[in-house]
Amino acid sequence: MSRYDVRVERRACIGSTNCVEEAPEAFEMDDAVAVVRAPLAPDEALLRGAQACPVGAIAVIDRETGRRIWP
């Protein structure tokens, strides 16, 4: 199980596909908006994909502490 909870703010997503290009094992596009494809993807992939978002539409939260990791 991933240690991260990953959320895409659909209204903020601009459909750049950067997250998918950076971490296709974790993200995909659905109707021109990013979605988490595999919530159990490796933590590194989830974080890498989130960090690739040019508008910060992907939040990464540590499940154990509740602390926001990104952005």
- For the entire predicted model, the pTM comes to 0.92
- Length, in residues, of the chain: 71
Written as one letter, the residue type at 43 is D
d(CA 10, CA 44): 22
Q: How many domains does the chain have?
A: 1
* CATH code where residue 48 lies: 3.30.70.20
pLDDT in tens, the chain (71 residues): 789 999 999 999 999 999 999 999 999 999 999 999 987 888 999 999 999 999 999 999 999 999 999 99
What stretch of H or E contains 7?
strand 4-8
> Domain containing 47: what range?
4-70
